[in-house]
Amino acid sequence: MTQEAHVTQGPLTTEAGAPVADNQNSETAGVGGPVLVQDQALLEKLAHFNRERIPERVVHARGAGAYGTFTVTRDVSRWTRAKFLSEVGKQTETFLRFSTVAGNLGSADAVRDPRGFALKFYTEEGNYDLVGNNTPVFFIKDAIKFPDFIHTQKRDPYTGSQEADNVWDFWGLSPESTHQVTWLFGDRGIPATLRHMNGYGSHTFQWNNEAGEIFWVKYHFKTDQGIKNLTTEEAVRLSGVDPDSHQRDLRESIERGDFPSWTVQVQIMPAADAATYRFNPFDLTKVWPHADYPPIEIGKLELNRNPQNIFAEVEQSIFSPAHFVPGIGPSPDKMLQGRLFAYGDAHRYRVGINADHLPVNRPHATEARTNSRDGHLYDGRHQGAKNYEPNSFGGPVQTDRPLWQPLPVTGTTGSTEAPSHAEDDDFVQAGTLYRLMSEDEKGRLIDNLAGFISQVSRDDIAERAIDNFRQADGDFGKRLEAAVQALRG
Ligand code: NDP
């Protein structure tokens, strides 16, 4: 819960364990002379220091994490055969990493940005990673647009700053972003703390039961602390006086035993509904309205243990949407499909091929039994065991049962996406969200959007951006246009 005492006995040593005589003065040739190459304690210390950083994540670089417990509160075995969900009261250890998306590793916490909500369940059938966000939707619906999108959020190659032109040019030309942008510039775009916001699996996933039946599922983590947000002005001030505000709040609340928790809900869609539902249920820019698929409470997530070493446990933690367990699998969501590749690839580059072996990443409730060996920083855990399969020496063997059920497919290959459902338009849910906001929140939403759109240098970019909101809701567009005009003069 708090910082564990860790006292090292004995003298200071080199990395090889030899005692260090003097950690204040370099060894010199005579008094006041040049430093000697034979001062290996000095050279080793400088060399290690130079290598203390690994590449930061290109997105979600800034993060904070904590361990916790997931408890099942409802029998879900009719929908999934996942063992960690198999009985009421069952508990599974978890690790949750929160993050902002666009900022660098040292950026401030209190900014307007989606928050990563990456949750690892250390289950007895392997680690299950649910790599979600604090928003139920996303800006785009196809992973092929992701690098372009992120380039507009990050620093411009010429100015070295985030540029309103790039952000609004991309969003204006990508109408599917309208729903997520409306959400982001509303009150929930700057949570007061990491404890006072919801988490969402966002994508649609497959659950399958013992009988092999398929269900489509969406996850919701509703904060038990209540939703609390910061206004733009509060956030600007807090970012200056306490850039680590969210990280500190999470650590301190766990240290004082005030464990944050979330009520876990799922929406379940029978597989047969997907083809005829009013919009594509695998479109990441849309929610499933609660009236269509009511949320069902299935569990409780509590965070109750702080990591002891931020670099080892938060910076080197890895999550992948491809980490499934029996009974859970992917859907045809094109963003999810892209992420199934991208996360593992990022970690192999950033942390290394043996990242899965680090204490925070390896399975805690079972063991990994693969024939993969060696590579950078391999720790020899398999000792002399045979490293091929099939073998006659009692090595691990396949189960013949896939984690998820196969799906039928039809049609031809190709990359042109035609709307396949009656309401596959990009604006309807942005309009619904706008209309459910209070009059006060609508006012703040318009101010937040107008303040940013008014910074663009070209009228056509501003007009295209405004037009997306106009299509979502006429009143929304009219008020935004007036507010931008007032600011641009
Ligand atoms: P419902 O009225 O059944 O659900 C509304 C949802 O909106 C609630 O989950 C609520 O979350 C959330 N919400 C309320 N105020 C805000 C706000 N200011 N900013 C963001 N979210 C808010 O309607 P629908 O299911 O038809 O959804 C309507 C719209 O609500 C959607 O278009 C979407 O933008 C948004 N929404 C929907 C979710 C879903 O899964 N259906 C999830 C989150 C948002 P809470 O209960 O925590 O207050």
Domain limits of the chain? 63-150+191-357, 428-488
Residues at CB less than 6 angstroms from ligand 1? 136, 183, 186-188, 198, 222, 227, 287-291, 429, 432-433, 436-437, 441
| Residue-by-residue DSSP string for 339-361 | HHHHHHHHHHHHT-TTGGGSTTT
Query: Which of 202, 229, 436, 449 best tests ligand 1's pocket when mutated (most atoms within 8 Å of CB)?
Result: 436
| pLDDT at site 74 | 98
Tell me how far the alpha carbon of residue 180 lies from the centroid of ligand 1, in angstroms: 12
Q: CA Rg, the chain, in Å?
A: 25
Q: Is the dihedral of CA 454, 457, 458, 464 positive or negative?
A: negative
Instruction: Kindly report the average pLDDT of the chain as a whole number.
Output: 96
Q: How far apart are the C-alpha atoms of 281 and 299, rounded to whole Å?
A: 24
Phi and psi at 67, nearest 5°, equal -85, 160
Residues known to be catalytic: 60, 133
Confidence of residue 6 (pLDDT cuts 50, 70, 90): confident
**Which superfamily is assigned to 63-150+191-357 in CATH?**
Catalase core domain (2.40.180.10)
- 203-234 residue pLDDT tens: 999 999 999 999 999 999 999 999 999 999 99
User: The pTM is what?
Assistant: 0.96
* Mean pLDDT confidence for 462-483: 98
Ligand 1, atom 45: closest residue by C-alpha: 222
CA distance readout (Å), 141 to 63, 253, 335, 472: 24, 36, 6, 18
Ligand 1, atom 48: closest residue by C-alpha: 227
- 94-109 residue pLDDT tens: 999 999 999 999 999 9
Ligand 1, atom 1: closest residue by C-alpha: 290
Is residue 418 over pLDDT 80? no
Tell me how far the alpha carbon of residue 264 lies from the centroid of ligand 1, in angstroms: 16
Ligand 1, atom 18: closest residue by C-alpha: 437
**274, 216 contact by CB (below 8 A):** yes
Residue 17 backbone zone (phi > 0: left; psi -120 to 50: alpha; other: beta): left
* Mean pLDDT confidence for 350-379: 96
Is residue 121 over pLDDT 70? yes
Tell me how far the alpha carbon of residue 433 lies from the centroid of ligand 1, in angstroms: 7
Report the share of the chain in percent with pLDDT over 90: 94
| pLDDT at site 414 | 87
| pLDDT at site 1 | 53
Confidence of residue 33 (pLDDT cuts 50, 70, 90): very high
Q: How far apart are the C-alpha atoms of 129 and 320, rounded to whole Å?
A: 6
- 7-25 residue pLDDT tens: 678 999 999 999 999 999 9
Confidence of residue 169 (pLDDT cuts 50, 70, 90): very high
